[in-house]
């Protein structure tokens, strides 16, 4: 750990700090700014990319993990093995992490933890969503300028990377100018300004004239934001930047709909863009639900077409890739990553990932619900690594594994299955007792119901009601 920190410090000193002047930037967007989108934005021509807003309370308990299979650095939530933040060397020199915070000490703890995996840290002071405001984050900080300045100054004085913030304008120009002067006085390297007030939304016209006035009073780069409603091609990005008189510009919704907006040569066709995005999502093991959201943003009204409706029914990465003739690539890549030992949900076991020393867990210890059978009997359990994936089942048809097994028992006049479930560290695993035998998945689930479904699925496979081929195809088994 010591040598890595020293080497990182030396690298920072020799490589220079991120320059925010004259840049075209992918703006921070929740659910959008994950690794595949960021890499694709850089490929398309963006100079800097921001992560989605990541909350300090979430990051502070994460464990940093080197993912050799993917070639990434992962910040893993120790409670369930999910990746809260993933990055790689390809983007490091142009990556800014945006943090949601309301506490200087907590923000600094996160900053010190992640600073050598990013090139800049931005504090969100512009999000108007209720979640942020209730937590004292986002635009709530604009009503507490002293607190906002304290957070920024604490970070600037103690981190080795540039610190910035992103705000919204205030209803009054003079008040806005006074605010940005205070913020700039903390030593931040740049300031992002959304050209709307706290209560204005995308349907409202932005106020580039306000940013133009603000620029006159600052000697740090101003990054304008809020012009997506008028941005349809690359040159429109430059027009809005010039209209604001800003040094740089960050693009949000226009990039969400088509990240090739950063491409000087022109926009890519929808299918080309989706295939590139899918490949990056597969290559970097992006969560299927996040990938689906990204594709929905690209497809927009095309979701109403027959292919779009087929896509909306898809839940797994393989199902999505099949629609764009990338199913074989997806299957091969997922198997390759699994063989390499990618740490994911399938490999999470209680106690494998250590708890954070900074944040105490708020989870209550789960109760053991099994019947305390002798451990020697475990060797008689029929056990397989089969995952219950909720996305494979339609609630309307109610063909869930437990239901199928229940119907089978009734039809054959057998005793109904009984489930014994144990819970440890907010993870669950169940044993299905049926017809004199016991079945269990090695996969630890995130809740009791899913654990029972997984155990039932192991049973169904072993009694011949579902085939291994079916389970491989739907992703429940990786072969």
Write the CB contacts of 79 (distance below 8 Å, at least 6 apart in sequence).
61, 361, 363, 425, 426
CB-count exposure of residue 408 (10 Å: 0-12, 13-18, 19+):
middle
Write the CB contacts of 157 (distance below 8 Å, at least 6 apart in sequence).
187
Q: Please report, for residues 78, 110, 338, 440, 467, the alpha-carbon distance to residue 33 in angstroms, rounded to integers and kept in the order given.
A: 22, 19, 25, 38, 38
The values of phi and psi at residue 304, to 5°, are: -85, -5
Return contacts of 321-329, CB within 8 angstroms, 24+ apart: 321/278, 321/282, 324/271, 324/274, 324/275, 324/278, 326/275, 326/278, 326/279, 326/282, 329/279, 329/282
Residue with tokens 């890519």: 268
**Catalytic site residue from 62, 127, 244, 330:** 127
Nearest to 419 by CA among 402, 404, 403, 398: 402
Q: How many helices (H) and strands (E) does the chain have?
A: 19, 16
Task: Assess whether 321 carries a catalytic annotation.
Answer: no
For residues 350 and 364, what is the distance between their CA atoms, to the nearest angstrom?
14
Residue with tokens 């989870």: 363
Q: Please report, for residues 83, 198, 293, 347, the alpha-carbon distance to residue 58 in angstroms, rounded to integers and kept in the order given.
A: 11, 25, 21, 21
For residues 188 and 123, what is the distance between their CA atoms, to the nearest angstrom?
10
CB-count exposure of residue 160 (10 Å: 0-12, 13-18, 19+):
middle
Coil vs helix vs strand at 252: coil
- At 3, list the tokens: 């040598």
- At 399, list the tokens: 């063909």
Hey, what's the torsion of the CAs at 195, 198, 199, 205, to 10 degrees? 0
Coil vs helix vs strand at 246: coil
Q: Which residues are identified as catalytic?
A: 127
């Amino acid at each position: 750990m010591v040598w890595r920190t020293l080497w990182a410090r030396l690298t920072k000193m020799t490589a220079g700090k991120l320059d925010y002047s004259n840049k075209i930037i992918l703006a921070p967007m929740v659910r959008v700014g994950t690794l595949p989108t960021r890499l694709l934005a850089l490929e398309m021509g963006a100079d800097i990319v921001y992560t989605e807003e990541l909350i300090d309370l979430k990051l502070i308990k994460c464990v940093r993990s080197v993912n050799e299979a993917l070639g990434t650095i992962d910040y893993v939530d120790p409670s369930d093995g999910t990746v809260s933040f993933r990055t790689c060397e390809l983007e490091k020199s142009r990556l800014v992490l945006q943090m949601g915070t309301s506490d200087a000490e907590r923000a600094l703890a996160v900053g010190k933890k992640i600073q050598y995996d990013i090139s800049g840290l931005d504090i969100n002071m512009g999000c108007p969503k209720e979640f942020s405001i209730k937590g004292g984050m986002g635009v709530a900080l604009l009503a507490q300028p002293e607190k906002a300045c304290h957070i920024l100054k604490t970070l600037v004085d103690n981190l080795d990377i540039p610190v910035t913030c992103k705000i919204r304008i205030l209803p009054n120009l003079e008040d806005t100018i006074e605010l940005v002067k205070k913020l700039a006085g903390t030593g931040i390297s740049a300031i992002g300004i959304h050209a709307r007030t706290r209560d204005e939304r995308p349907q409202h016209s932005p106020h580039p004239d306000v940013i133009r006035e603000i620029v006159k009073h600052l000697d740090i780069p101003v990054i304008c934001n809020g012009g997506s409603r008028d941005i349809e091609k690359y040159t429109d990005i430059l027009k809005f930047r010039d209209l604001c008189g800003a040094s740089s510009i960050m693009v949000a919704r226009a990039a969400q709909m088509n990240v090739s907006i950063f491409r000087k040569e022109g926009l890519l066709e929808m299918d080309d863009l989706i295939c590139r995005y899918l490949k990056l999502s597969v290559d970097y093991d992006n969560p299927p639900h996040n990938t689906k959201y990204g594709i929905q943003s690209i497809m927009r009204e095309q979701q109403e077409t027959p292919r779009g409706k087929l896509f909306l029914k898809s839940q797994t990465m393989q199902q999505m890739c099949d629609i764009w003739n990338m199913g074989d690539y997806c299957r091969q890549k997922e198997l390759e990553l699994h063989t390499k030992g990618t740490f994911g949900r399938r490999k999470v076991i209680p106690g494998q990932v250590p708890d954070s020393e900074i944040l105490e867990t708020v989870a209550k210890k789960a109760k053991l619900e099994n019947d305390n059978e002798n451990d020697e009997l475990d060797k008689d359990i029929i056990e397989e690594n089969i995952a219950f994936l909720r996305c494979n089942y339609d609630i309307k048809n109610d063909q869930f594994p437990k239901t199928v097994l229940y119907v089978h028992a009734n039809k054959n006049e057998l005793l109904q299955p009984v489930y014994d479930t144990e819970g440890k560290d907010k993870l669950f695993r169940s044993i299905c007792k049926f017809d004199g035998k016991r079945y269990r998945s090695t996969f630890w689930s995130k809740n009791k119901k899913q654990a029972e479904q997984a155990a039932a699925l192991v049973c169904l496979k072993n009694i011949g009601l579902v085939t291994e081929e079916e389970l491989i195809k739907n992703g429940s088994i990786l072969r």
